[in-house]
């Protein structure tokens, strides 16, 4: 999940010098610096590359901007003609600065700290491409996908192609694990889940595995609860990211026998801090310790989070591991 970001004063300082958020993503020395900042402060076992899931639509030719106080704004894809203007062949050239960031980060990270690369999964990226930004109800993307089935499947295919190339190039540049974010998977109707979520993700996993068979891939399909075992089996991911709607006991019973889990500490506890945070962190650690797991947040860190809370959480985890 997000490690860098606006909760850190040193991030805000670098961010203020960049000409907007995308410029920060495409400026390797700055992007590398903000990737490394939380590592220096908190000493986690892995770093996540600083970039965004929306660099992929930008790379294939869509207009993408990040507006202060509003979030992402994209010129929405509405027709077959808009689709025809997108070209996954541009991915690697456009995203060359991200690969340079990966090389810079890998060169500076301590050897025992892994670097995780990432991308959005096709469904989640498509929601932004068709809605033109963030949405609460997903009405536009869902009704478009249903009434333009063949166009929507072309869009998913373009994203599979571009995302596969992007992730393989991250591994070639030095990423040691990959995470696919399907943050909005819970908005998909059950009848379309295989076609919009599992299928495209499975094809990306297969393409990456063909080139980089030893690189673990973590799938994060947020909010899909009972569909998780099916998602894991159909996609071929190596580990699964869990949101906080699943209890550690449920994860231990239903998910860890199938694959390693990552999660699932609710960032609201991190924001709140104090003894509530400490107890909840121990509950995750104790609940998942019977099987393979990576302690992580259940989704992105809130920008008001005091860095001292993150420091305390890291200390709790490090102490727990030392005494385990």
- Residues involved in catalysis: 2, 6, 15, 52, 128
Residues near 190 by beta carbon (within 8 Å), at least 6 away in sequence = none
SS3 64: strand
Neighbours of 201 (CB within 10 A): 26
The residue from 36, 52, 174, 259 that contacts ligand 1CP (CB under 6 A) is 52
Range 2-31, binding ligand 1CP (CB under 6 A):
2-6, 15, 21
Q: What is the DSSP string of 129-178?
A: HHHSB--SS-HHHHHHHHHTHHHHHHHHHHHHHHHHHHHHHHHHHT--EE
The residue from 8, 39, 53, 77 that contacts ligand 1CP (CB under 6 A) is 53
Count Cα atoms within 13 angstroms, Cβ side, for 280: 22
Dist CA 62 CA 219 (whole Å): 25
Q: How far is CA 41 from the centre of its chain?
A: 21
Give me the least distance between CB of 42 and ligand 1CP, in Å please.
Answer: 12
Q: What is the DSSP string of 79-97?
A: SHHHHHT--GGGHHHHTHH
The residue from 28, 44, 57, 72 that contacts ligand 1CP (CB under 6 A) is 72
37 binds ligand 1CP (CB under 6 A): no
Mask for 92-131, x = binds ligand 1CP (CB under 6 A): --------------------------x-------------
Whether 246 and 223 have beta carbons less than 8 Å apart is answered as no
The residue from 29, 63, 67, 71 that contacts ligand 1CP (CB under 6 A) is 71
169 binds ligand 1CP (CB under 6 A): no
Strands (E), 94-176: 114-120
Phi, then psi, of 82 in degrees rounded to 5: -60, -40
Give me the least distance between CB of 222 and ligand 1CP, in Å please.
Answer: 6
Residue whose CB is less far from ligand 1CP, 12 or 253: 12
When CB distances to ligand 1CP are compared, the closest residue is 134
Max CA-CA distance within the chain? Answer: 60
The residue from 63, 79, 134, 143 that contacts ligand 1CP (CB under 6 A) is 134
Residue whose CB is less far from ligand 1CP, 205 or 252: 205
Dist CA 97 CA 177 (whole Å): 19
How many residues touch ligand 1CP under the rule CB under 6 A: the total is 22
Strands (E), 190-234: 217-221
- Residue 279's H or E segment, with its range, is helix 274-288
Residue whose CB is less far from ligand 1CP, 71 or 257: 71
Judged by CB under 6 A, which stretch of 47-55, 148-156, 244-252, 253-261 contacts ligand 1CP? 47-55
Residues near 214 by beta carbon (within 8 Å), at least 6 away in sequence = none
- State the pairing for strand pair 177-182/114-120: parallel
Residues near 318 by beta carbon (within 8 Å), at least 6 away in sequence = 43
Give me the least distance between CB of 6 and ligand 1CP, in Å please.
Answer: 5
Residue whose CB is less far from ligand 1CP, 52 or 266: 52
187 binds ligand 1CP (CB under 6 A): no
Residue whose CB is less far from ligand 1CP, 81 or 136: 136
300 binds ligand 1CP (CB under 6 A): yes
Q: Which residues bind ligand 1CP (CB under 6 A)?
A: 2-6, 15, 21, 48, 50-54, 66, 71-72, 118, 134, 181, 183, 299-300
């Amino acid at each position: 999940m997000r490690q860098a970001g606006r909760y850190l004063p040193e991030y805000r300082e670098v961010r203020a010098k960049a000409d907007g958020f995308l410029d920060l993503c495409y400026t390797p020395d700055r992007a590398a610096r903000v990737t490394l900042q939380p590592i220096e402060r908190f000493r986690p076992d892995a770093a996540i590359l600083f970039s965004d899931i929306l660099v992929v639509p930008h790379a294939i030719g869509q207009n993408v901007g990040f507006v202060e106080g509003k979030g992402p704004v994209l010129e929405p894809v509405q027709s077959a003609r808009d689709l025809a203007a997108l070209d996954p062949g541009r991915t690697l050239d456009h995203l060359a600065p991200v690969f340079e960031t990966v090389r810079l980060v890998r060169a500076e990270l301590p050897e025992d700290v892994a670097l995780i690369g990432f991308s959005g999964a096709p469904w989640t990226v498509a929601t932004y491409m068709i809605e033109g930004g963030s949405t609460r109800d997903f009405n536009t993307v869902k009704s478009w996908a249903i009434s333009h089935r063949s166009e929507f499947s072309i869009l998913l295919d373009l994203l599979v192609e571009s995302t596969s190339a992007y992730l393989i190039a991250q591994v070639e540049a030095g990423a040691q694990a990959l995470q696919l974010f399907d943050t909005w998977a819970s908005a998909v109707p059950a009848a379309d889940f295989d076609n919009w979520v599992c299928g495209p993700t499975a094809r990306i996993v297969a393409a990456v595995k063909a080139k980089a068979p030893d690189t673990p891939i973590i799938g994060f399909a947020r909010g899909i609860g009972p569909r998780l075992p099916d998602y894991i089996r159909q996609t071929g991911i190596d580990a699964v990211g869990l949101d906080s709607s699943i209890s550690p006991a449920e994860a231990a019973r239903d998910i860890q026998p199938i694959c390693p889990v990552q999660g699932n500490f609710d960032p609201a506890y991190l924001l709140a801090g104090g003894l509530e945070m400490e107890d909840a962190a121990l509950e995750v650690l104790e609940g998942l310790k019977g099987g393979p797991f990576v302690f992580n947040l259940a989704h992105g860190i809130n920008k008001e989070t005091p860095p001292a809370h993150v420091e305390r959480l890291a200390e709790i985890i490090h102490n727990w591991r030392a005494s385990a």
